[in-house]
Structure 1
Amino acid sequence: MRMYDNPVIGGFHPDPSVCRVGEDYYLVCSSFEYFPGVPLFHSRDLVHWRQIGNVLDRPGQLELPDDLPASAGIYAPTLRHHDGRFHLITTNVGARGNFIVTSERPEGPWSDPVWIELDGIDPDLAWDEDGSCWVAVAGCAVARIDPENGKVLEGPLPVWSGTGMQDPEAPHLYRIGEWWYLLVAEGGTGLGHSVSVARARTPRGPFEPAPANPVLSHRSTGSPIQCTGHADLVEAADGTWWMVLLGTRPRGYFPSFHVLGRETFLTPVEWDADGWPRVGPVLEQHPAPAARRPVELPPARDEFDAPGLAPYWLSPRRRPDDSWSLSERPGWLTLRATGNSLDRLGHTFVGRRQQHHDCRFTTRLDPGTGRAGLSVRLDEAHHYDIEVSGGEAAVLARIGPVRQCLARRAVAAGPVTLGVEIRTDALVSPSGEQGVRAGGPDVIALAVDGVRLAELDGRYLSTQVAGGFTGRVAGMYVTEGTAAFDWFAYEPAPER
């Protein structure tokens, strides 16, 4: 029997929303404070996904103020295809609220935002038989809107707020058969996360809850997959039903730590005789959907010889045109400092998500007369760096209020190779320290030209320590002058 592995999109890819057009599937995720926003994926089989772009790839679409806190920004997009066009609705938390963008093609170009005069996060889009457009928001309430100008035509109408657990959110409305189904997440996005469902004859309600709610939750289980929730349904081309959802894979000693962020999982859905969805536990391996032509996965190494950056590259809040170039030194990514510290907002950083527990990031850096390096970050207050400046490489750690240089080494003038290896071996307690449990989720080793300078406990770059809703991102930065990067490689290792 063909099987597939979960997660289907690893690393910091939370709040998935999916739609099908013919035999093609498209999926989006939250991007929070990162630019560009809302990564967009394509698949032919719901299992193999390739990022084909970002929906919000222009500053005019994505207002992320320089003082935007970490984990604010773009929350919980919903992607739908209606009347020959793709529609995406989402919330910009910390800016102007809810908006819609549209495109004839998933690759774009996507329109400028149409702002919706409706409060609430996690907005959803659905259309009824007469063409009316409905938006559901966390709470849960629904409103009839004009998607062309953002005006609310009816509501918001309170409909169903779940079974009584905290934070009813991530509502999705579906017309399936004679019923309107309302899928919600509740219990908070942590270990109590769950999925519940209700149904009604119209989007206005009244909604009847499923007798077996929640239909999905991993709380208080020993599953290696936790925090399951924030789900979206899709009917496959062969008539089977599937659910995409977020989950985490915590590691280490109690309370355990998830370092990759909330990831995208896939699980099958069946319908019982009374018309309610049945969702089993989300497994690390499931029987695969009907085979389709898989899409090509991105290369592990970027030589920076394309005319533009690949869609998986991220920058916190903004990426000014004058802060980077692929043409100034052909075959290299040139970065120019816009701030003097990774500890503060406004710095120059280009990175990609960590998507595997065991992996390696490597880059070739010509620091010139600048100060530049390779960093693994959760936010401005939680990152590990290996930095080169003035003929010296240094390992730096920022953990909350503490910033410390942990190692230094002289390096020759000219290009150097910087590496970060992340592995899930247990930490070794320092010699002579009694009663220290080595229970972190992983070890982060930082090296220059193959010489390892430091090994650090990965727990301090985790959600449980830093807080927030994102995951690790590793990348290149410059905080003084100009520096150039010849290539960047990401190599996942077999997970133990």
Structure 2
Amino acid sequence: MTEPSGAGIRDAATTPVIPGLFPDPSVCRVGEDYYLVNSSFEYAPGIPIWHSRDLRTWTQLGNVLTRETQFPAGVSAASRGIYAPTIRHRDGTFFVVGTNVERGGEQFVVTATDPAGPWSDPIVFEGLGGIDPDLAWDDDGSCVLTYCALDEALRPEDGSLPVIAQVRVDLDRGIRLEEPRVIWRGSGLAHPEGPHLYRRGDWWYLLTAEGGTERGHAVCVARSRAIDGPFEAAPANPIFSRRSTGFPVQNTGHADLVERPDGSWAMVYLGVRPRGFTPGFHVVGRETFLARIAWADGWPVVHTDNVLPARPDTSFTDDFSGTELHPRWVSADGTLPGPHPAGGLALGSHDLAVRVRDLRWRFEAHVDASAPVALRVRLDDQHWYEITLDGDAAEVRARIGPLAASMRSARATGDVVTLVVEAVDATHDGPDDLRFGLVDADGERWLAALDGRYLSTEVAGGFTGRVLSLRALGATPARVVSARYLPLGDE
């Protein structure tokens, strides 16, 4: 692989093309257009979908799962919900296949003729216990669903799980045509998962993620003359990994390939940007990165020397003037946000959240002080910091596992108050400090600064990153006049 050189270059090796909590990327191309989806876990609407013309600059079209008939409310815990979708296109139809782990790891398929939606209700394939499904079509037009199997019935003689399994399906009738079979046990690293199949020339290539989605994460590949194997491993496996290096992007894996119109190939993959003292803390989740693919002796070779355009504009100001929310807004408890009256947002007890996109940032919520309201930086329900406003009382609170505490309180003045949180440089050994304050009739002032490491995946576990959520504290709806997010500095 080729490494970047030169100060100030915005290179794909260290800069995500889709920053923030957008993991497990899958991509397809239709003509000159590329479409990409990500895992969404407990957040609803589910499965963000993006569009690009160059693989480097992406615009969110919307979300795939926008109705309760597609994604029933009631996710049981953080880092559950919707896992690792794959997007494919065939004969004018887009297909997204994914896993709902709330339903025993069921594999489902939704379809659309327009990637912006609406998407169909799911076709559910029961009895395929596992995650990370992929769709591919054999030369005879038959469809195969390949996935990371966790079903005891498919456990090999050596006792290893997971394995990569495959089953032929009829998408028109929504049925399996056979019992699933094991096609690959991995190259020898832990946790073979995230399979994707591609036809190139006379070969079928099977791309997998191995090593676990932490620091040992890697991309591996095998190939076969037939879609169902037998597969032979690439001699250079893993073909891509940052494990055991000091590179600023780690946990690289769970990749997908796409062929460009000119016949060249590219790869999207996930990575994290850990910071702070050992073990390093990543806080915005697993992000989407880009690489180019060369081919040598019939095998893909990964290069990370792409030069990127100016940083994505992650800033936004939302005055909630329309009745429909921008697709960036999600619910943190699996409850689909509904329409609202124009001119301000009425909050209930369900969290309304937006993903953090940058390493340094500022978020402001301009709120009506007549009803109790909270602004929270959330990793999960057991790891969060927040600032609340209840009448004229502002308070900063924290929860880290079973420990909860009030950090500081202050008096607020005025009918409308701006609650503020910033991620700034760390004063200890963590990735950052999160400082909370407010702007009221008396001006701007800071109440508390808290160590950001406790809102990291390395502390809390799981598969997600930080979101910024707003909610009413009581039965009375709270009104948010506007919200603003700004990155701080260039990354």
TM-score for the superposition, normalised by structure 2: 0.91
Equivalent position of 2:91 in the other structure = 83
Q: Aligned partners of 2:460, 2:311: CA distance in 1, in Å?
A: 35
1:158-194 CA-to-partner distances (Å, cap 9, x unmatched) read 1112111111000001111111100000000000000
1:75-154 equivalences in 2 (<5 Å) = 75-96=83-104, 97-117=106-126, 118-138=128-148, 139-154=163-178
Q: Aligned partners of 1:462, 1:333: CA distance in 2, in Å?
A: 29
- Could you tell me how far 1:319 is from its partner in structure 2? 3.2
Amino acid in structure 2 at the alignment position of 1:483: A
Q: Aligned partners of 1:426, 1:40: CA distance in 2, in Å?
A: 33
Equivalent position of 2:437 in the other structure = 447
Equivalent position of 2:318 in the other structure = 302
Amino acid in structure 1 at the alignment position of 2:109: I
Q: Aligned partners of 1:315, 1:90: CA distance in 2, in Å?
A: 19
Instruction: Report the aligned-residue RMSD.
Output: 1.9
- Are positions 1:336 and 2:348 aligned together? yes
1:417-456 equivalences in 2 (<5 Å) = 417-423=418-424, 425-427=425-427, 438-449=428-439, 450-456=444-450
Contact 2:315 2:487 in 1 (8 A): no
Equivalent position of 1:277 in the other structure = 300
Distance 1:64 1:161, change over 3 A: farther
Distance 1:412 1:287, change over 3 A: closer
Equivalent position of 1:219 in the other structure = 243
Equivalent position of 1:343 in the other structure = none
SS of the aligned residue for 2:292 comes to strand
Q: Aligned partners of 1:156, 1:17: CA distance in 2, in Å?
A: 23
SS of the aligned residue for 2:453 comes to helix
SS of the aligned residue for 1:167 comes to coil
SS of the aligned residue for 1:140 comes to strand
Q: Aligned partners of 1:21, 1:295: CA distance in 2, in Å?
A: 25
The answer to which of 411-420 and 446-455 deviates more is 411-420
Uncovered stretches (5+) of structure 1, i.e. residues with no partner: 338-347, 428-437
Distance 1:52 1:83, change over 3 A: same
Contact 1:364 1:486 in 2 (8 A): yes
Q: Aligned partners of 2:285, 2:480: CA distance in 1, in Å?
A: 27
- Could you tell me how far 1:237 is from its partner in structure 2? 1.8
Amino acid in structure 2 at the alignment position of 1:222: G
Amino acid in structure 2 at the alignment position of 1:334: A
- Are positions 1:244 and 2:268 aligned together? yes
Contact 2:333 2:351 in 1 (8 A): no
1:322-361 equivalences in 2 (<5 Å) = 326-327=340-341, 330-337=342-349, 348-361=350-363
Contact 2:44 2:336 in 1 (8 A): no
Contact 1:142 1:203 in 2 (8 A): no
Q: Aligned partners of 2:426, 2:171: CA distance in 1, in Å?
A: 53
Distance 1:237 1:296, change over 3 A: farther
Uncovered stretches (5+) of structure 2, i.e. residues with no partner: 1-5, 149-162
* Count of aligned residue pairs for this structure pair: 461
Which of residues 48, 61, 64 in structure 2 aligns to 1:52? Answer: 61
1:190-201 equivalences in 2 (<5 Å) = 190-201=214-225
Q: Aligned partners of 2:339, 2:384: CA distance in 1, in Å?
A: 25
TM-score for the superposition, normalised by structure 1: 0.90
Q: Aligned partners of 1:46, 1:256: CA distance in 2, in Å?
A: 29
Contact 1:49 1:295 in 2 (8 A): no
Identical amino acids, percent of aligned pairs: 49
Q: Aligned partners of 2:120, 2:451: CA distance in 1, in Å?
A: 44
- Could you tell me how far 1:306 is from its partner in structure 2? 1.9
Q: Aligned partners of 2:339, 2:327: CA distance in 1, in Å?
A: 15
Amino acid in structure 2 at the alignment position of 1:193: H
Q: Aligned partners of 2:298, 2:17: CA distance in 1, in Å?
A: 28
Q: Aligned partners of 1:355, 1:161: CA distance in 2, in Å?
A: 36
Contact 1:325 1:335 in 2 (8 A): no
Q: Aligned partners of 1:472, 1:300: CA distance in 2, in Å?
A: 17
Q: Aligned partners of 2:457, 2:172: CA distance in 1, in Å?
A: 38
Contact 2:314 2:486 in 1 (8 A): no
Contact 1:166 1:187 in 2 (8 A): yes
- Could you tell me how far 1:420 is from its partner in structure 2? 0.5
Contact 1:236 1:242 in 2 (8 A): yes
- Are positions 1:22 and 2:31 aligned together? yes
Q: Aligned partners of 1:296, 1:228: CA distance in 2, in Å?
A: 21
Contact 2:51 2:58 in 1 (8 A): yes
SS of the aligned residue for 1:122 comes to strand
SS of the aligned residue for 2:184 comes to coil
